[in-house]
Amino acid sequence: MNSLLKLEEVGQFLLAILIFANLDYAWWVFPTCILLPDLSMLGYLVNPKIGALLYNFFHHKLTAILIFALGTSLNTPIPILTGIILFGHSAMDRIFGYGLKYNDDFKHTHLGKIGK
């Protein structure tokens, strides 16, 4: 089952790349921006609860989809790009076993403990 779920995430990551490829951005924008959602981990400098809240907001695929939909409905490029980057980043994280965080410990995710 784990392999099947990872394969699904690979498909979602490829979808993000495909959608990005149809936008009017240089190719280097995608790899440059793909790690930006991890800046949300700075919330862990405050405490684990704030860290998990910020991390989960920027790594939840519904957040990405809503931002993308807003940008599409308003025909505004920045939210479209932001939604694609958030969606692609979240899929990439899931491929590597990084899930949404519980507020007790950074390594405690909905996919299990990181590193186990």
User: How does residue 113 score in pLDDT terms, banded at 50, 70 and 90?
Assistant: confident
Confidence at residue 78, expressed as pLDDT on a 0 to 100 scale: 98
Q: In the 3-class helix/strand/coil scheme, how is 21-87 assigned residue by residue? A: HCCCCCCCHHHHHCCHHHHHHHHHHCCHHHHHHHHHHHHCHHHHHHHHHHHHHHCCHHHHHHHHHHH
| pTM of the shown model | 0.92
Domain boundaries, the chain: 2-109
Residue-wise pLDDT tens digits, 15-70:
999 999 999 999 999 999 999 999 999 999 999 999 999 999 999 999 999 999 99
